[in-house]
Amino acid sequence: MVFLKQPTKEQELSSLLQTLHEHHPLHPRHYAPIFQLLTRFRGSLSQAKQLHAHLTLRGLRPDAFLAAKMVALYSSSRDRRTATLLSRQVPCPSTLLFNALIRGHSLFASPLETLDVFRQMQSHGLPPDHFSFPFALKCCAELQFLPLGQSLHSQCLRFGLEKDVYVGSSLVNMYAKCGYMKFGAVEMAKELFDDMPKRNIVTWTAMISGYSQNGMADSALSLFEDMKREGSQVQPNWVTIVSVLPACAHSAALEQGQRIHDYATAMGMDAHPTVRIALVTMYAKCGNLVAARRCFTSILGEDDNNSKNDLVPWNAMIAAYASHGLGAEAATLFEDMIKTGVRPDSVTFTSLLSGCSHSGLVEDGLKYFDSMRTVYSVEPQAEHYACVVDLLGRAGRLDEAVGIIERMNVVEVGPSVWGSLLSACRTFRNLEYGEMAANRLFVLEPENSGNYVLLCNIYADFGKWEEVKKLRSLLKERGIRKSPGCSWTEINGKIHAFFEGDKSHPQSRQIQILLEDLDKKMKAAGYVPDTRYVLHDISEEEKECSLKTHSEKLAIAFGLLNASPGTVRVLRVTKNLRICGDCHMFAKFISNIYSQEIIIRDVNRFHHFKTGTCSCGDHW
């Protein structure tokens, strides 16, 4: 039996070239299929040039169609210069030609350069089509350039292209990516999404990731459920999974994350390295370091992929250890990575240094910081300086920290650097540096209420109530409100959230009773409320009362009430701000009195409370 084989790339090419030689004279159009074929097979630049020379030799000038095909080949071969030159020589450029040029730029040039080609197309009076807009909109999304995106949107409407699924998905994505820039942009994305006559998996994923990336985790998760309910119309793929997992990570919704992991496994999507990386991060941020490590190991264990040499899984796992305050483990993993032959990048060092700082490994951290440039040729950036300032600051070495800041001449001293210094000043009661850092921060990020609170804390510590008052009126003047403390915990896959002083929960009464009882037990065991964490200039009793309503205490009490002993091994609580010192002490006591392991994720890191101690070693 004879099998008919598909012609190979070479066979197909040589037969086309044969045709070229046999036919004289030729029309430029005869060349078009060859250029097209070369583009499809990712032909080399030298082949393109040979063919081009062939054409010139015969005195043939490419028409708009052939030029478009040639431009496409040059563009996809990274030769943007020739592509641009060629496009300028064409007497009557077409939309097709410019689309080819735009595509090439979108592959190898910056978004701004790509947008410039789009602009040139329009200045030639050529109407962009359903191929041009997705490219241009993607650039706006990458640049978070909402005004241009909106203008492109209105053009899409004018050309009647908004119903096209590619254009529509691009618009949804553009608005979602600009959500950070302008209030209401994500809502606009959702409106467009709802109005689209046809949605495919890319449209759904764009909207889900839009929610995820804008911190709207609940919306992301519920949209993912909506999509599954749509049935066979759309099938989630690995990109969808990767887009929804950060939403679980954000909410610390471990059970939901596990369900999505199971789902991905059932659908055969868990083998994808990118999915596994997202899983590492999801498990780590949900407080399950063991599962995170398991996923990480499974990535390295794969024989048939190259992800062993991929930096990102290592970075993800190093970051996981770092956020859990396991600096030594992060450092060991870093050394393993180097032994494997993977080169670290700036993200690696950010995580590694923060890991050292969270575990008090000052000397190791300084050593790694030094090695960045000298050994690994990675230039330190503001975030690395912030970590080093934090490293020294947490160790109380404030003068050295300030010295580091003073010596930062190439890198701009950003808010994170001053922020590190300010929190160290709060811990070690340093008024001079604290005021210095805070005053910089009030200019650099005037909206961040946390900075005002920290300086207030320092003033309160020194009994400077006049200054506290002044700062309060400044806050009022600027219309800044202290972000309310919020803590939440997941019980049976449902998230229960509590705000500071919250009494709205159905179990609020029981929570209060339990907290009163705990208070008595703890005082009997020697607990003294640390009222330094209350800002107000009020009596000690009132301060104590104010501490009792902190959101993390409410969430812990709720967890204790609903977690029947033996069934819930670990109580996991997440807080939107930094945990206060009094609540930290409270959690340590509870972990001892109730023999209950508690893991609290605050805005910076994890705290594992077990038998009266915390993994951070009171070093946060």
Please, which of residues 328-387 interact with DNA by CB under 7 A? 346-347, 350-351, 354, 357-358, 382-383, 386-387
Our CB check for DNA shows the closer of 317 and 557 to be 317
Our CB check for DNA shows the closer of 382 and 491 to be 382
Our CB check for DNA shows the closer of 52 and 605 to be 605
Q: Tell me which stretch binds DNA (CB under 7 A): 108-116, 164-172, 569-577, 593-601.
A: 164-172
Which of 150, 213, 487, 596 lies at the binding interface for DNA (CB under 7 A)? 213
Minimum distance of DNA from residue 563's CB (angstroms): 28
Q: Tell me which stretch binds DNA (CB under 7 A): 19-27, 170-178, 189-197, 561-569.
A: 170-178
Minimum distance of DNA from residue 140's CB (angstroms): 10
Residue 506 phi, psi dihedral angles, 5° rounding: -55, -30
Which of 214, 240, 430, 574 lies at the binding interface for DNA (CB under 7 A)? 240
Q: Is the distance from CB of 368 to CB of 350 less than 8 angstroms?
A: no
Closest CA to 591 of 511, 494, 497, 522: 522
Q: Tell me which stretch binds DNA (CB under 7 A): 221-229, 235-243, 397-405, 483-491.
A: 235-243
48 binds DNA (CB under 7 A): no
Contacting DNA within 498-557 (CB under 7 A): none
Contacting DNA within 129-158 (CB under 7 A): 130-131, 134-135, 137-138, 141
Minimum distance of DNA from residue 576's CB (angstroms): 13
576 binds DNA (CB under 7 A): no
615 binds DNA (CB under 7 A): no
Chain centroid to CA 416: 17
Alpha-carbon span 560 to 491, nearest angstrom: 11
| Structure-token match 């009266």, residue found | 612
Q: Tell me which stretch binds DNA (CB under 7 A): 204-212, 222-230, 522-530, 556-564.
A: 204-212
Q: Tell me which stretch binds DNA (CB under 7 A): 17-25, 82-90, 408-416, 558-566.
A: 408-416
Closest CA to 158 of 129, 134, 187, 135: 129
3-state secondary structure 140-208: HHHHCCHHHHHHHHHHHHHCCCCCCHHHHHHHHHHHHHHHHCCCCHHHHHHHHHHHCCCCCHHHHHHHH
Alpha-carbon span 451 to 120, nearest angstrom: 46
Q: Residues with Cβ < 8 Å from 28, sequence gap 6 or more?
A: 55, 60, 61, 62, 63, 66
Which of 243, 251, 487, 615 lies at the binding interface for DNA (CB under 7 A)? 243
Evaluated on CA atoms 295, 297, 300, 304, the torsion sign reads negative
242 binds DNA (CB under 7 A): yes
219 binds DNA (CB under 7 A): no
Our CB check for DNA shows the closer of 337 and 511 to be 337
Which of 416, 531, 546, 615 lies at the binding interface for DNA (CB under 7 A)? 416
Q: Assess whether the previous peptide bond of 484 is cis (omega < 30° from 0).
A: no
Our CB check for DNA shows the closer of 63 and 445 to be 445
Helix (H, G, I), strand (E, B) or coil at 617: coil
Which of 84, 448, 449, 510 lies at the binding interface for DNA (CB under 7 A)? 448
Task: Classify residue 346 by burial, with Cβ atoms within 10 Å: 0-12, 13-18, 19+.
Answer: middle
423 binds DNA (CB under 7 A): yes
8-state DSSP, 348: H
Q: Tell me which stretch binds DNA (CB under 7 A): 238-246, 455-463, 524-532, 534-542.
A: 238-246
**What secondary structure does DSSP assign to 383-448, as a single string?**
HHHHHHHHHHHHTT-HHHHHHHHHT--SS---HHHHHHHHHHHHHTT-HHHHHHHHHHHHHH-TT-
Our CB check for DNA shows the closer of 106 and 546 to be 106
582 binds DNA (CB under 7 A): no
* CA–CA–CA angle 528, 616, 605 (5° rounding): 110
Our CB check for DNA shows the closer of 173 and 551 to be 173
Contacting DNA within 594-613 (CB under 7 A): 604-605
**Both tokens assigned to 119:** 């602009």
Q: Is the distance from CB of 551 to CB of 486 less than 8 angstroms?
A: yes
Our CB check for DNA shows the closer of 75 and 531 to be 75
Q: Tell me which stretch binds DNA (CB under 7 A): 330-338, 402-410, 411-419, 527-535.
A: 411-419
Contacting DNA within 26-45 (CB under 7 A): 40
Please state, in angstroms and as integers, the Cα–Cα distance from residue 467 to each residue in 68, 211, 425, 452, 571, following that order.
Answer: 69, 40, 16, 11, 40
Minimum distance of DNA from residue 475's CB (angstroms): 16
Q: Tell me which stretch binds DNA (CB under 7 A): 16-24, 94-102, 507-515, 562-570.
A: 94-102
Which of 77, 87, 251, 281 lies at the binding interface for DNA (CB under 7 A)? 281
* Bridge partners for 610 per DSSP: 613
Closest CA to 402 of 373, 422, 382, 372: 422
Contacting DNA within 58-87 (CB under 7 A): none
Count of residues that interact with DNA, criterion CB under 7 A = 79
* CA–CA–CA angle 91, 92, 95 (5° rounding): 140
Which of 87, 106, 430, 546 lies at the binding interface for DNA (CB under 7 A)? 106
Q: Assess whether the previous peptide bond of 25 is cis (omega < 30° from 0).
A: yes
| Structure-token match 């209420």, residue found | 449
Contacting DNA within 285-314 (CB under 7 A): 307, 310-313
Our CB check for DNA shows the closer of 166 and 527 to be 166
Please state, in angstroms and as integers, the Cα–Cα distance from residue 54 to each residue in 51, 58, 59, following that order.
Answer: 5, 7, 9
